[in-house]
Amino acid sequence: MGKVWFVGAGPGDPELITVKGRDLIGRAGAILYAGSLVSEATMRWAPAGCEIADSKDMTLEAINTWLLQKARVHDTVVRLQTGDPTLYGALVEMVQPLDADGIGIEVVPGVSSAMAAAGSAVESLTLPEVTQTVILTRVEGRTPMPDGESLAELGTHHCTLCLFLSITLLSKVQSELLAAGWREDAPVLVVQKASWPNQEKIVRGTLTDIRDKCRDEKIKSQAMIIVSPVLGARRWPELKKSKLYAADFSHRFRRGTKPKRKA
């Protein structure tokens, strides 16, 4: 009996997979990849004779059957997921049938699109004394949101919000964040196909105009929405700098200089 590895392929650029993930692809007997969001170019590391299938058109049941069958034949079976497998990836539904059959599984993390989108736009998701918190969430579409997790409620924290699966619901994002007390001119960043070579689009706007801007750019899918009080900080003249690198801040690896006394 083989083992099934749930591997994060990263956000799109095939080079953003981890070394561990690439090595697993290199010795896989079978790979099932999420073709809607994982670049086919990642398969270049697969060995000759590797069984490769795209799960784009499969139901969960078909995916589970495929993984079970291949794990009976091959030592290493890879389920290649977009971004990180632990976020909106139906991981538990795929693991349970394997558990039931006594097949070993392991998860290899990946670079999530939330991080890739922020990086592409050279934005930090946290900034001292502005926000130290990131919420990864989505707005309610066909999947209902649990109690207490509407954007109107989560938005009251005024921290960084990374919104998955919500690009077609920008009017809802707008109305719920205004209800949560965000200003109409609050900055919003949308990154489509973050890190995909030659395909990435970065759109900046405000809660008021981001929807029109995305419509003009024809962005309807595969996009990350980031709303945060830190957006644009790269160009702020005054920053509260991180204590970690401050000259007078001591920590485990460095003794800080004493602040100068006033004469």
Residues in the site for ligand SAH, rule: CB under 6 A?
A: 11-12, 37, 82-84, 87-89, 112-113, 116-117, 164-165, 191-196, 222-224
Rank residues 39 and 131 by Cβ distance to ligand SAH and give the closer one.
39
CA nearest to 87, candidates 25, 156, 163: 163
Q: What is the nearest approach in angstroms of ligand SAH to the Cβ of residue 203?
A: 11
CA separation for the pair 31, 43 (Å, rounded): 9
Q: What is the nearest approach in angstroms of ligand SAH to the Cβ of residue 105?
A: 17
Instruction: Return the residue nearest ligand SAH (CB atom).
Output: 83
What type of residue sits at position 257?
Answer: T
Rank residues 50 and 162 by Cβ distance to ligand SAH and give the closer one.
162
CA separation for the pair 50, 73 (Å, rounded): 12
CA separation for the pair 47, 78 (Å, rounded): 12
Rank residues 152 and 202 by Cβ distance to ligand SAH and give the closer one.
202
Helices 91-100, 60-73: crossing angle, 10 deg rounding: 50
Q: What is the nearest approach in angstroms of ligand SAH to the Cβ of residue 211?
A: 16
CA separation for the pair 243, 112 (Å, rounded): 27
Q: What is the nearest approach in angstroms of ligand SAH to the Cβ of residue 170?
A: 12
Q: How many CA atoms lie within 13 A of 204 on its CB side?
A: 9
Q: What is the nearest approach in angstroms of ligand SAH to the Cβ of residue 119?
A: 11
Rank residues 77 and 191 by Cβ distance to ligand SAH and give the closer one.
191
Rank residues 50 and 87 by Cβ distance to ligand SAH and give the closer one.
87
